[in-house]
Amino acid sequence: MRTGLTPAEAQRWVLDEAPVLAAETVTTPDGRGRVLAEAVVSSRCLPPSDNSAMDGYAVRRADLGQAAAPAALRVAFEVPAGAAVDRALGPGEAARILTGAPLPPGADAVVRQEDTERDGDSVRILVFPSPREHVRDAGEDVDVGDRVLEPGVVLGPAELGLLASLGRSVVAVHQRPRVAILSGGDELVEPDGDVAGGRIVSSNSWSLAAHCRELGAEPLYLGIARDTPADVEAHLAAGRSADVLVSSAGVSVGDHDHVRGALEKLGCELQFWGVKMKPGYPLAFGRFPGRGPLVFGLPGNPVSALVTFEQFVRPVLRKMMGHRSWFRPLVEARVLEDLDKKPGRLHFVRVSLERREGEVVARSTGNQSSGVLRSMTLARGLLVFPADATKLRAGDTATVQVLDPDFFAATHSGV
Ligand code: AMP
Ligand code: MG
């Protein structure tokens, strides 16, 4: 088993081990937020025929001549939306036409209703259209045989609308990883439990399950294991059918840290332990041979658990789900205060982030102890303080992983 990997080495390692999950077929509306596992090729032409982009009159442009407007045409028939046109436009004729209605044969332009005057069977054309003005061409959106969506695309409102337009009632998407979540420790209780006598709520169970749901993975909560080898083993065994098993706490070197031993006893091959980062050094990674789950033994401290989930589990789950990019958005931010550390480990500094006069500024959320969960609620990003660096001075810039999906949300619309 390797130890003391850098975060970058550990990320490469876990991502190399992670498979992309197979496809499954879901109904198109249920595909929302899922990652497409097929290339979608159109069997339809959209729009299906030349049609009007306006309410107005379909005309033969040549009938209007080269002289200046106006000119009068005879209104021969009407084409409502959804109607089949069974008649061509003859010389000197106009057809009343509504938005989305097919253009009658012979017509090659549409005049907006506002640019006409109707008088009984006759219409005066006040503004002459250019050829094909206000006409939407058949196939201008999608043609038969067009490859319209690529594998790896996330299905959002526009994609679902397009699939619906193509008559696709089902779609192939990547399976959602099932993530077994286990907490361990004699001090832990469920949120409604009794916290007398120094017990604490197992917050990790909740925050890690929330992380999974937010990603579109499926959490399976295995409960709290007591600090005995047998109980840890029994709980871990229950997670063997998942795609990923995430356990928090009990992976350090304390007398009550039974996770590593229990995993090995169950046949899990531990591949590495210990990543040169802070918070989150005591991270264990392994896998069950064959079709068994990837296993992450995260540290127990709530911040360490969340930061290691961010760096290793989240990208793995995104890869499994078929995403093409696995990491959070990065920004270069100007730090607003001095930061110091010892060399050797990369620090992930919880920072608040703000956009100010065209740049992003970052400030530490304060106490960076790995037990201070509130610092994570205040953090909009994790600042990467490189392993070898010891100082960041106010005014320096640094790379920040943006955690808050609303960071780019605005309070005004820009219009
Ligand atoms: P351990 O790895 O068992 O030494 O745990 C490290 C620290 O994390 C201890 O202070 C634990 O109480 C705390 N801890 C462990 N598991 C959880 C959990 N599920 N939720 C919140 N805190 C935890
Ligand atoms: Mg413990």
With a 6 Å cutoff on the Cβ, whether 370 touches ligand 1 is no
pLDDT at 267 over 80: yes
With a 6 Å cutoff on the Cβ, whether 188 touches ligand 1 is yes
Output the DSSP codes for 290-318: TTPPEEEEE-SSHHHHHHHIIIIIHHHHH
Atom of ligand 1 nearest to the CA of 256: 3
User: Of the candidates 346, 23, 29, which has an alpha carbon nearest to the alpha carbon of residue 169?
Assistant: 29
pLDDT digit string, tens, across residues 36-47:
999 999 999 999
Residue 204 CA to ligand 1 centre (angstroms): 8
Mean per-residue pLDDT, 87-99: 96
- Work out whether strand 178-184 and strand 244-248 pair parallel, antiparallel, or are unpaired: parallel
Q: Which ligand lies nearest to the CA atom of residue 254 in the structure?
A: 1
Q: Which ligand lies nearest to the CA atom of residue 193 in the structure?
A: 1
Model pTM score:
0.94
Q: Give the Cα separation of 176 and 215 in Å (integer).
A: 9
Residue 227 CA to ligand 1 centre (angstroms): 11
Q: How far is Cα of residue 136 from the mean position of the Cα atoms in its chain?
A: 33
With a 6 Å cutoff on the Cβ, whether 248 touches ligand 1 is yes
Confidence at residue 256, expressed as pLDDT on a 0 to 100 scale: 77
DSSP 7: H
Confidence at residue 86, expressed as pLDDT on a 0 to 100 scale: 85
SS3 assignment, position 77: strand
With a 6 Å cutoff on the Cβ, whether 205 touches ligand 1 is yes
CA atoms within 13 A on the CB side of 198: 3
Confidence at residue 284, expressed as pLDDT on a 0 to 100 scale: 94
96 membership: H or E segment, kind and range: strand 93-97
Percentages (nearest 5) of helix, strand, coil residues in the chain: 20, 35, 45
Q: Distance of CA 216 to CAs 106, 244, 314, 319, 323, Å?
A: 52, 14, 11, 12, 11
Confidence at residue 291, expressed as pLDDT on a 0 to 100 scale: 84
Q: Which ligand lies nearest to the CA atom of residue 252 in the structure?
A: 1
Among protein residues, the one with the nearest Cα to ligand 1's atom 16 is: 300
More confident of the two residues 174 and 253:
174
Residue 81 CA to ligand 1 centre (angstroms): 65
Among protein residues, the one with the nearest Cα to ligand 1's atom 2 is: 249
pLDDT at 223 over 90: yes
Q: What values do phi and psi take at 42, rounded to 5? A: -80, 135
Atom of ligand 1 nearest to the CA of 251: 2
Strands (E), 126-243: 135-136, 147-149, 170-174, 178-184, 188-189, 200-201, 218-225
CB 101 within 8 A of CB 81: yes
User: Of the candidates 247, 220, 217, 184, which has an alpha carbon nearest to the alpha carbon of residue 315?
Assistant: 217
Atom of ligand 1 nearest to the CA of 205: 19
SS3 assignment, position 304: helix
Among protein residues, the one with the nearest Cα to ligand 1's atom 1 is: 249
Confidence at residue 87, expressed as pLDDT on a 0 to 100 scale: 93
Mean per-residue pLDDT, 271-300: 95
Which of 186, 189, 200 has most ligand 1 atoms within 8 Å of its beta carbon, as the pocket-test mutant?
Answer: 200
Tell me the longest C-alpha to C-alpha distance in the chain.
97
SS3 assignment, position 324: coil
pLDDT at 257 over 90: no
Among protein residues, the one with the nearest Cα to ligand 1's atom 6 is: 300
Residue 250 CA to ligand 1 centre (angstroms): 8
Q: What is the mean pLDDT of the chain?
A: 95
With a 6 Å cutoff on the Cβ, whether 249 touches ligand 1 is yes
Q: Give the Cα separation of 215 and 315 in Å (integer).
A: 10
Mean per-residue pLDDT, 342-347: 98
SS3 assignment, position 11: helix
Residue 345 CA to ligand 2 centre (angstroms): 23
Atom of ligand 1 nearest to the CA of 183: 19
pLDDT digit string, tens, across residues 361-372:
999 999 999 999
Output the DSSP codes for 322-355: T-S--S--EEEEEESS-EE--SSSEEEEEEEEEE
CB atoms inside a 10 Å sphere around CB 38: 13
